[in-house]
Every structure is written in structure tokens, then in C-alpha cells.
């Protein structure tokens, strides 16, 4: 098998006061060496929890992986002890976080924050680690790295801090880089820079990337494959092309429609009406059914199975059942810039 990472039927639950929230419900996906997989979905769809589960960073209590497997090079990380996971984190699988303003320790020099992983995983001496830290800062495009290495995070701008976060994540040449909304907290010009940087670094290092985002523009920029999550479930997955040009799930249609487009005839911004389901009492059927304009009776009663539309695309929707009425996707999904 050439899958670097394979997640099988992952279930994550948070046991809160008086409520058990099923944040991730039966997610299965895989990641090949060197590819970029985007996981998209709105807030609360379970995409961040999935990524935290891979890192073994779900706070327990209250969080708990109730079932499923996370196979990294064939080893199930779910059953790894914390000590075993410490050897994976930062070395094999790294993570970039959403908000660079809070992701760095304010009282520690950035150089030291980069060096920590090197000293721990690669048993480097402090001098070597510092040299490597300077190299990494140069690699992520920070000018005068030999000076900056001795500075504190507050002396860096937001975009520069995100570069530092990326340098920390890439320090030990991880096989997988999980980027949890890496550009959400940055302004648009900086976003483009960070995306360029990630693409360039991926070319250089061959790291596989899991990109967690709700920004389809970022997805189009970086990903080869896309998984769409909704209500803790992976409702559709496919190649970038398939998801953008031949989406089959009404939620994917909704996501694509709500993306602002340059050549749109109206200046109205489309939105998906309603709000995501309450996962402390998850719906029996398809989680999107209450907001779906095409929902049928069966949708609210039973979760649809996946329909395999190609080797790479699978969709969980009753509309793809033979007995369902034929529905054409709305024309508003058209991808901008075409």
C-alpha cells in the first residue's frame, strides 16, 4: 500500500456536562506520499477534530476516540501511548495552526522554539540546532534570520509569525504536515504569500499536506484531493477537479455557490440557509437533510451509503440512488475565473 496515512471509520466524542458531542462520526480517508488533501467544511463540521485526532492531541477528558483506526505507515496511532506519540509528533507528523498570533510562546525566543524539536528528535547539539533554525528561517523567507533567531514573537508581524510556525513544523522534515486553517487569521496579501511558501516547500521537501480549511480559494490553490465534511461526516470526497467541476453532493453545491465570484451576474452573496446540526444529538439520517433543498423523506431517516462515482470520487447522498429523482446541480456552483 502506498498510503502514508489511512483513517478508517474514525469516531470522536466529547463528553461534556450533560451532553455527549459526536464531533467526528465514521470518517475514512487516506493520504498518499507527497500529495495535498484538503478537508473543507464549515465551523463545527469536525475537520479540526479529525486533524487533532491524527496528532493525538484531543484533550482527554473530555475528548475520546471511541472507535476507528488511524494508520500511519501501517501503525495504528489510536493505540499509541502518549510517549510513543511524542516520537511521532513534530518528527513524522507536524501541524501548523490557525492563529499565528497565539501559536507561539510569547516569552521564548523564536529560535529556541524552533530548536526544541530538533534537539528532541534529531538529538542535535544546541549549536547545530541553532544553525539549522537559522537555515529554516531563511527557508521560510524571513530576512536577516541570524538576527531574527534571537527575537521574541512580539517582534514579528502576523505573516512572519506564521512563517515561524511553518519553520517549527518543518524543522524535522515530517512526512505529513497538517495545516489547520493556516491562512484564516492573515490578511489577503499575506495569505497568498503563505500559500506560495507552502507550495514551494512541499516541492522541496516532498511532505504530504492535510489542509484543513473552509476557504475554497485556498483549496483550489494547493490541493490535489478534497474531502468535504459536514456534521462530523465526510459527505463527499474526490480529486480537486471532481469536487470543483462535477460535485454530486448538495452540500458541496452549497459550498461552491456561496463562494463569491468575480463575474457573477448579481452582487448578492449566496448562503446556505440554516445552521449545522447539533452533534450532541446527531440526526439519524443525513446531517445535511434539514438544510438541503432536495431532501426527501428517506434523507431524514437513514444515512446514505457512499456511491462510488469514480476511483477517486465517492459521495454519500440519496440523490445518487437509482430510485431518486434526477436533480441537476444549480448553475451558481460555477467556479470563478473561468
Cell numbers found for residue 77: 496511532
In the bound state with other proteins, the residue whose beta carbon lies nearer, of 201 and 216, is 201
In the bound state with other proteins, the residue whose beta carbon lies nearer, of 60 and 302, is 60
Position 121 contacts other proteins (CB under 8 A): yes
> Which residue of 16, 19, 73, 108 would you call a contact of other proteins, by CB under 8 A?
108
CA distances from 66 to 28, 57, 69, 70, 175 (A): 14, 15, 10, 12, 26
Of the candidates 87, 102, 76, 256, the one whose C-alpha atom is nearest the C-alpha of residue 181 is 102
CA distances from 302 to 136, 231, 251 (A): 50, 14, 17
Binding window for other proteins (CB under 8 A); candidates: 10-18, 69-77, 96-104, 206-214: 96-104
Of the candidates 310, 307, 331, 328, the one whose C-alpha atom is nearest the C-alpha of residue 318 is 307
In the bound state with other proteins, the residue whose beta carbon lies nearer, of 54 and 316, is 54
Of the candidates 129, 208, 113, 126, the one whose C-alpha atom is nearest the C-alpha of residue 164 is 113
> Which residue of 63, 117, 276, 277 would you call a contact of other proteins, by CB under 8 A?
117
Position 55 contacts other proteins (CB under 8 A): yes
> Which residue of 3, 20, 57, 131 would you call a contact of other proteins, by CB under 8 A?
57
Of the candidates 1, 12, 177, the one whose C-alpha atom is nearest the C-alpha of residue 74 is 1
Is 220:243 a contact under the CB 8 Å cutoff? Answer: no
Is 132:175 a contact under the CB 8 Å cutoff? Answer: no
Binding window for other proteins (CB under 8 A); candidates: 1-9, 37-45, 148-156, 218-226: 148-156
Cell numbers found for residue 99: 492563529
* Near other proteins in 66-95, by CB under 8 A: 82-83, 85-91, 94-95
Binding window for other proteins (CB under 8 A); candidates: 31-39, 149-157, 205-213, 215-223: 149-157
Position 163 contacts other proteins (CB under 8 A): no
Position 167 contacts other proteins (CB under 8 A): no
In the bound state with other proteins, the residue whose beta carbon lies nearer, of 24 and 95, is 95
* Near other proteins in 226-265, by CB under 8 A: none
Is 38:213 a contact under the CB 8 Å cutoff? Answer: yes
Position 152 contacts other proteins (CB under 8 A): yes
Is residue 208 within a helix (H) or strand (E), and if so which, with residue range? strand 208-213
Q: Which residues bind other proteins (CB under 8 A)?
A: 55, 57, 61, 82-83, 85-91, 94-95, 97, 99, 102-108, 113, 116-117, 120-121, 152, 154-155, 165, 168-169, 171
Amino acid at each position: 500500500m502506498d498510503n502514508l496515512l489511512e483513517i478508517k471509520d474514525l469516531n470522536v466524542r466529547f463528553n461534556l456536562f450533560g451532553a455527549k458531542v459526536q464531533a467526528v462520526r465514521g470518517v475514512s480517508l487516506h493520504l498518499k506520499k507527497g500529495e495535498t488533501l484538503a478537508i473543507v467544511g464549515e465551523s463545527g463540521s469536525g475537520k479540526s477534530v479529525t486533524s487533532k485526532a491524527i496528532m493525538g492531541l484531543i484533550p482527554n477528558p473530555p475528548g475520546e476516540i471511541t472507535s476507528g483506526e488511524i494508520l500511519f505507515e501501517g501503525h495504528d496511532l489510536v493505540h499509541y501511548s502518549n510517549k510513543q506519540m511524542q516520537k511521532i509528533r513534530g518528527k513524522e507528523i507536524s501541524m501548523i495552526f490557525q492563529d499565528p498570533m497565539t501559536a507561539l510562546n510569547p516569552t521564548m525566543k523564536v529560535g529556541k522554539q524552533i530548536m526544541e524539536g530538533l534537539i528532541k528528535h534529531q538529538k542535535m547539539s544546541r549549536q547545530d540546532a541553532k544553525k539549522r533554525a537559522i537555515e529554516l528561517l531563511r527557508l521560510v523567507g524571513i530576512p536577516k534570520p541570524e538576527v531574527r533567531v534571537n527575537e521574541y514573537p512580539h517582534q514579528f508581524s502576523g505573516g512572519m509569525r506564521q512563517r515561524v510556525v511553518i519553520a517549527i513544523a518543518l524543522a524535522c522534515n515530517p512526512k505529513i504536515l497538517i495545516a489547520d486553517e493556516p491562512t484564516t487569521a492573515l490578511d489577503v496579501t499575506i495569505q497568498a504569500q503563505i500559500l506560495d511558501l507552502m507550495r514551494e516547500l512541499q516541492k522541496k521537501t516532498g511532505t504530504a499536506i492535510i489542509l484543513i480549511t473552509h476557504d475554497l480559494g485556498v483549496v483550489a490553490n494547493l490541493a490535489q484531493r478534497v474531502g468535504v465534511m459536514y456534521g462530523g461526516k465526510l459527505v463527499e470526497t474526490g480529486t480537486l477537479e471532481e469536487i470543483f467541476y462535477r460535485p454530486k453532493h448538495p452540500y458541496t453545491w452549497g459550498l461552491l455557490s456561496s463562494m463569491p465570484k468575480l463575474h457573477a451576474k448579481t452582487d448578492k452573496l449566496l448562503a446556505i440557509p440554516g445552521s449545522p446540526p447539533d452533534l450532541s444529538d446527531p440526526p439519524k439520517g443525513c446531517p445535511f437533510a434539514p438544510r438541503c433543498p432536495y431532501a426527501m423523506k428517506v434523507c431524514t431517516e437513514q444515512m446514505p451509503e457512499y456511491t462510488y462515482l469514480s476511483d477517486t470520487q465517492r459521495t454519500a447522498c440519496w440523490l445518487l440512488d437509482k430510485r431518486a429523482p434526477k436533480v441537476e446541480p444549480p448553475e451558481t456552483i460555477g467556479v470563478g475565473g473561468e
